[in-house]
Structure 1
Amino acid sequence: MVAVIVLIIVFVVLIVPASAVRMVQQYEKGVVLRFGRLLPAIREPGLRLIIPIADRMRKVSMQTIVMPIPAQGAITKDNVTLTVDAVVYYRVADPVKAIINVEHYPTAVSQVAQTSLRSVIGRADLDTLLSDRDQINAELQAVIDAPTEGPWGLHIDRVEVKDVALPEGMKRSMSRQAEAERERRARVIAADGEFQASAKLADAARAMADTPGALQLRLLQTVVDVAAEKNSTLVMPFPVELLRFFERATQTDDPTAAETNGHRQDAMLRTDAVTRLGDVTDGKE
């Protein structure tokens, strides 16, 4: 009997005080229920005392929780079937609401995120989903944060769409569309380059027409470029301007000779005409 009493005393002295001490980590808050009733005071980090048997403490982590959303099959606004997965970043803003108002808030957040993801994807078209992820992420954050922040004491920091899995047929169609778009751009750029080159050539032709010597300079430059190549044969045309220069000089220096040449050419033309007339007469006879 005495041994039993001693054991009870040892239990009360050692075990009961140990069960009355709770350690709250720096990233946690403690919510205490006394006989099932919430105490208004929230236990801060450190060693905290509670009444054994009467009090029960629930520790709530205040860290940001990263929760992946499983891949969800959805149909976009333009009737494209795809699979989308995302990730949600949230944290507990009010530990009392997170413990009292909802049972196991991580599961609740996961269910809300899955249904919200399908709903938002159904209101967006494929082009918006692929090109404007920021808009989809902001809309997802607003939709998930609305039912969780006020009633459950949770704050959604960020929601991001990770991957969009398209059907194989849609992938091939998008690949052909992208290839056709790149080919169109290449043709437009090539046509624009040819137009600019033709405009420059037209300007150069007008400049050379106004200055005949520029054409000879361009010819000499071409000769230099061709002569730089080995084992090449170059055929130089005689400049027409030089022939015209000699012709004008001859006519200016000897007008009598020019007149004699003119008479001589007229006589040759008359002789040729008489000869052809005789040929025609003989043929008639």
Structure 2
Amino acid sequence: MPLLIVVAVIVLYALNSINILKEYERGVIFRLGRVREAAAGPGIVWVFRPLETITKVSLRQEAMEVPSQDVITRDNVTLKVNAVITLRVVDPTKAVIEVANYIYQTSQFAQTTLRSVLGEVDLDGLLAHREQLNMRIQSIIDGHTAPFGVKVVSVEVKQVDMPESMLRAMAKQAEAERERRAKVIHAEGEFNAAAKLVEAAELMATQPMTLQLRYLQTLTEIGVEKNTTIVFPLPMELMNLLNKTFTAPKPDSPTTPSS
């Protein structure tokens, strides 16, 4: 009977010593307080308590949201900016023994880096070159997290909240820019139209009959529409005769003889 009790205790102790780690998990085992060189897993891992303890670490990527930070840009614009960081553990042993909580440590580095980097650029640079800023923030944070075995995969500035006054100013600026472009396009159209009219006038001046044809075409266009406009066509020869009469040079007035 005592032998059965001893066997049962040994079997229960052996079953309790079995730890199954998933494919994405690694176990950092401490034996008498000293860490083993390599992390164990995946699969079955034996941990003989109380001489040994195990700390499980996940190797999957984790998304961490950086809390909203108050940022003052280089052109003195106050913003609220938050970001999303994707990270993963590449060295489980360092992630356990080098820092108490690698997620909290990375979050603190991300907050300070986000404020310092975005404070060095102006508002237009932040809105136009967000990809370059993301890469810069990522490289800085990754330099801080590399000593404790954490790799920062990506950093994305998630949202930029601006004051209402700044939003109204940007809307006015955009509206003024659109009006400027509209005026420039309208002026270019007028210039092109004037150039074409000059070319048409020069061409019509070489052939007098083109004016007569244009006159008849205008009468045809007016006659198609059902309106109350009354048109009295005049012969072009009469118009030319009147033009020559009014434009003829006047004879010189006789001079009175001097006494």
TM-score, reference length from structure 1: 0.79
Superposed, 1:1-285 pairs within 5 Å as 9-14=7-12, 16-149=13-146, 151-231=147-227, 232-240=229-237
Q: Distance in 2 between matches of 1:187 and 1:234?
A: 37
Amino acid of the structure 2 residue aligned with 1:184: R
Residue 86 of structure 1 aligns to a residue whose secondary structure is strand
Which protein has the larger Cα radius of gyration, Structure 1 or Structure 2?
1
**CA-to-partner distance for each residue in 1:28-78, whole Å, 9 max, x for gaps?**
112111111111232121122232322212111111110000000011111
Per-residue deviation at 1:131?
A: 1.4
Q: What CA distance in whole angstroms lies between the structure 1 residues aligned with 2:195 and 2:179?
A: 24
Q: How many residues align?
A: 240
Higher RCO (CA < 8 A, seq sep 6+): 2
Partner Cα separation in structure 2 for residue 8 and residue 196 of structure 1: 105
List runs of 5+ in structure 2 lacking aligned partners: 242-259
By percentage of residues, which structure has more helix? 1
Whole-angstrom CA distance in 2 between matches of 1:243 and 1:109: 91
Q: In the alignment, is the contact (CA less than 8 A) between 2:70 and 2:79 conserved in 1?
A: yes
Deviations 1:233-282 (CA, angstroms, capped at 9, x unpaired)? 332121128977xxxxxxxxxxxxxxxxxxxxxxxxxxxxxxxxxxxxxx
Q: Residues 31 and 164 of structure 1: is their aligned pair in 2 closer, same or farther, counting only changes over 3 Å?
A: same
Helix, strand or coil at the partner of 1:236: coil
Q: Within 2, Cα distance between the matches of 1:62 and 1:13?
A: 32
Residue identity (%): 44
> Cα 1:211–1:115, aligned 2, differ >3 Å: closer, same or farther?
same
Which deviates the most, 234-243 or 160-169?
A: 234-243
Code of the residue aligned with 1:178 in structure 2: it is A
Which residue type is aligned with residue 159 of structure 2? D
- Contact kept, 8 Å, 2:38 with 2:93, in 1: the verdict is no
Say whether the 8 Å CA contact 2:88–2:151 is kept in structure 1. Answer: yes
Q: What is the CA–CA distance in structure 1 between the aligned matches of 2:178 and 2:160, rounded to whole Å?
A: 23
RMSD: 1.9
